[in-house]
């Protein structure tokens, strides 16, 4: 099966809606669940579906993504498996950056076409889900499709954020509209099945996951639709009039991590009793870099619905509904509620802590007697003692040199230093 398919993972644009998390890294490199990065999700889904040849397309802030992939995905020298990064590059044929999803794939075709395959699987690099692409491919073949689009039923509230499509009784797509206005929605109701309709999920949304027959993809991008730059806005609406485009309906958990709010919610949802995204599923393992970190050390802390990654030293009084990332340090008497702390890229030695103290800098991590609620703390932050951060929906959106406020969530920027007694 792995020889039949090559996967192309789209790294996304500048990720402005996830700012400031994307200020110095590309969207697929944003840390998730305390120890992974977003790109690990589509790559893990591919590996679990026996698809082991992957290209990751990127053009913004790609250094940390390159480093992560280089340090993580090593396959046997006797296999044909690979995860290769294709950064936007200037060539004699094209001096432009990627102009859209389809243009990114078009500019990468010369690398892709060096490999044998019958199908090309196109994925987004910023979604959280667990999906067996083998089943989607079997469905694509069984229906004799030229193009398959993975779809998920959504309700009224989210429908305007997605490409919405209609399919007939054979799941052949008959119409497609990108991000319809609310007043157009009644015309786009689909038969999504009794379970989904009972939840009010009456619209079929494109998940941004496509299977193309390889020859057709090359013909469309290089010849027939050579001026089109985007799959969702241009290529798919036209292709369904001329080719057999089918819907593969997926009913599992899937979330598009496009905004700070959805990113925050998706991470905190992992702390639930039975989380919607299962990190503990052996058959759907999420792979990431093996770091050889020591186990977490916790002293005198009440923990409630909290995930703690390796290498942490926690002396807080209480942490609840939070995700604490690798190498995090939290001081005595501190309370954290509904927080995602991404952790640190290195441990501070005792000598370095002393040196920081002499210069009046807080230690790496969070100090003593702090109260932090509704916050995302990016990597390598230094938060002093007696700091109060209390995010709430009453706060206005703002951007400060040390932090950003979005939808009531306070995002402490990467490497920020908050002095003792700082209040947000």
Q: What is the largest CA-CA distance in the chain?
A: 72
Note the pLDDT of residue 96: 61
Note the pLDDT of residue 97: 59
Beta strand 371-377 pairing with 388-390: parallel
SS (H, E, C) 27-78: HHHCEECCCEECCHHHHHHHHHCCCCEEEEEECCCCHHHHHHHHHHCCCCCC
Closest CA to 127 of 2, 4, 250, 294: 250
Q: Residue 412 in contact with residue 376, Cβ under 8 Å?
A: yes
Note the pLDDT of residue 408: 95
Q: Which two tokens stand for residue 240?
A: 């369904």
Note the pLDDT of residue 13: 65
Instruction: Please calculate the CA angle 170-217-93 and round it to the nearest 5 degrees.
Output: 160
CA distances from 408 to 22, 365, 374, 395, 403 (A): 19, 22, 8, 5, 12
**Could you tell me the domains of the chain?**
5-269 (3.90.550.10), 291-418 (2.160.10.10)
Euclidean distance between CA atoms 47 and 348, whole angstroms: 35
Note the pLDDT of residue 333: 97
Q: Residue 33 in contact with residue 80, Cβ under 8 Å?
A: no
Task: Sort residue 60 into left (φ over 0), alpha (ψ -120 to 50) or beta.
Answer: beta
What torsion do the CA atoms of 253, 259, 261, 263 make, to the nearest 10 degrees? Answer: 50
Euclidean distance between CA atoms 413 and 60, whole angstroms: 18
- Number of Cβ within a 10 Å radius of residue 360: 10
Q: Which own/partner pairs from 397-400 qualify as long-range (CB within 8 Å, at least 24 positions apart)?
A: 399/20
Task: Answer positive or negative: Cα dihedral of 236, 241, 242, 245.
Answer: positive
Q: Which two tokens stand for residue 127?
A: 């979604």
Global pTM value: 0.92
Ranges of residues in the chain with a pLDDT under 70 are 1-2, 12-15, 60-61, 88-98
Q: Residue 80 in contact with residue 51, Cβ under 8 Å?
A: no
Q: What are phi and psi of 77, to 5 degrees?
A: -65, -15
Note the pLDDT of residue 1: 47
Euclidean distance between CA atoms 283 and 298, whole angstroms: 30
**Cα-to-chain-centroid distance, residue 308:** 20
Note the pLDDT of residue 221: 87
């Amino acid at each position: 099966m792995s020889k039949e398919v090559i996967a192309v993972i789209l790294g996304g644009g500048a990720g402005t809606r996830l700012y400031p998390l994307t200020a110095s890294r590309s969207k697929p490199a944003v840390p998730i669940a305390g120890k992974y990065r977003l790109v690990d999700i589509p790559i893990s889904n591919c590996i679990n579906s026996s698809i082991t040849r992957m290209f990751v397309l990127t053009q913004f802030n790609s250094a940390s993504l390159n480093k992560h992939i280089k340090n993580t995905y090593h396959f046997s020298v006797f296999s044909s498996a690979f995860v290769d990064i294709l950064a936007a590059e200037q060539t004699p044929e094209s001096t432009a950056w990627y102009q859209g999803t389809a243009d990114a794939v078009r500019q990468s075709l010369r690398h892709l076409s060096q490999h044998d395959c019958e199908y090309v699987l196109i994925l987004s690099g910023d979604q959280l889900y667990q999906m067996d692409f083998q089943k989607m491919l079997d469905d694509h073949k069984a229906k004799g499709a030229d193009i398959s689009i993975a779809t998920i039923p959504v309700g009224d509230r989210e429908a305007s954020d997605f490409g919405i499509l209609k399919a007939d009784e054979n799941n052949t797509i008959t119409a497609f509209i990108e991000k319809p206005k609310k007043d157009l929605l009644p015309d786009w109701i689909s038969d999504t099945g009794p379970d989904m309709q009972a939840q009010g999920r009456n619209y079929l949304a494109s998940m941004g996951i496509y299977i193309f027959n390889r020859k057709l993809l090359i013909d469309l991008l290089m010849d027939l639709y050579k001026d089109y730059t985007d799959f969702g806005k241009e290529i798919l609406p036209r292709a369904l009039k001329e080719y057999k485009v089918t819907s593969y309906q997926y009913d599992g958990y899937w979330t598009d991590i496009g905004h700070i709010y959805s990113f925050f919610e998706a991470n905190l949802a992992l702390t639930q009793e039975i989380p919607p995204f299962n990190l503990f599923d052996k058959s759907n393992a999420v792979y990431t870099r093996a770091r050889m970190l020591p186990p977490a050390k916790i002293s005198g802390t009440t923990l409630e619905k909290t995930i703690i990654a390796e290498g942490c030293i926690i002396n807080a009084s209480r942490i609840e509904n939070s995700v604490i990332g690798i190498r995090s340090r939290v001081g005595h008497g501190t309370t954290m509620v509904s927080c995602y702390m991404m952790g640190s890229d290195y441990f501070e030695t005792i000598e370095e802590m002393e040196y920081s103290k002499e210069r009046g800098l807080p230690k790496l991590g969070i100090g003593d007697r702090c109260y932090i609620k509704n916050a995302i703390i990016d990597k390598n932050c230094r938060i002093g003692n007696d700091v109060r951060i209390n995010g709430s929906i009453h706060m206005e959106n703002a951007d400060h040199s040390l932090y950003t406020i979005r939808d009531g969530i306070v995002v402490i920027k990467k490497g920020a230093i908050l002095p003792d007694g700082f209040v947000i």
